[in-house]
Chains A and B, each alone.
Chain A
Amino acid sequence: KAGVTQTPRYLIKTRGQQVTLSCSPISGHRSVSWYQQTPGQGLQFLFEYFSETQRNKGNFPGRFSGRQFSNSRSEMNVSTLELGDSALYLCASSLAGPFQGYTFGSGTRLTVV
């Protein structure tokens, strides 16, 4: 079966712009979580969606937002980009939550210049 698909794989944006990242979970998975990975910081939890509802939110500013659609696909949006937003953004899906762990996508590498 198809894995978690994240698009685009790479993105270069200018400071002040906004960006939207997309994640298509494994078929049947209803929980989608987003993480930010930066060098030396590991994976930082952004938010989790389940059945179109945000269930958890990490400690990120309001510039970071997301949503989930009825087909479980999820989007993440970052407005007013800052240089420090440059990171690998990872999406993970699971049936109902991280019970047995997630299946991660390959990520979107965002570079803000």
Chain B
Amino acid sequence: DQQVKQNSPSLSVQEGRISILNCDYTNSMFDYFLWYKKYPAEGPTFLISISSIKDKNEDGRFTVFLNKSAKHLSLHIVPSQPGDSAVYFCAARETNSGGSNYKLTFGKGTLLTVNP
């Protein structure tokens, strides 16, 4: 059962336009959400995160929106640049009942291609 879903395997946008990457989750115990970017032959790089008590977090060109009632989050990149072309992973953190052990559950990723 996939608890974090990125339903779009790929997305193509023009340079300068907005890129919107979507992520849905099913586990109500997730309390923190993160986005990672991954280039080929490299490990994922942390991009931006959001706590479940917020609905928006912004960092430069990157903004993450969280809709808890819909169990949906999205990453907006404005304006998109060719260097943003990479695989983007959505991840969620669940606090277990003990409160001290954590793990991240990742989606399968979305390949973003920004065309010049």
Contacts and interface: CB of A to CB of B under 8 A. Distances in A.
Contacts of A56: 101-103
A68 interface: no
Q: Which of B41, B103, B105 has the most CB of A within 10 A?
A: B103
Contacts, number: 64
A43 B101 contact: no
A101 B103 CA distance: 10
Interface of B is mostly: strand
B77 interface: no
B96 to A, nearest CB: 8
Given A33-B104, A43-B89, A45-B105, 15 more contacts: A33-B103, A35-B106, A42-B107, A45-B103, A48-B102, A56-B101, A90-B44, A98-B102, A100-B46, A100-B49, A101-B91, A103-B46, A104-B45, A105-B43, A107-B42
Interface of B: 6, 32, 34, 36, 41-46, 49, 89, 91, 93, 100-109
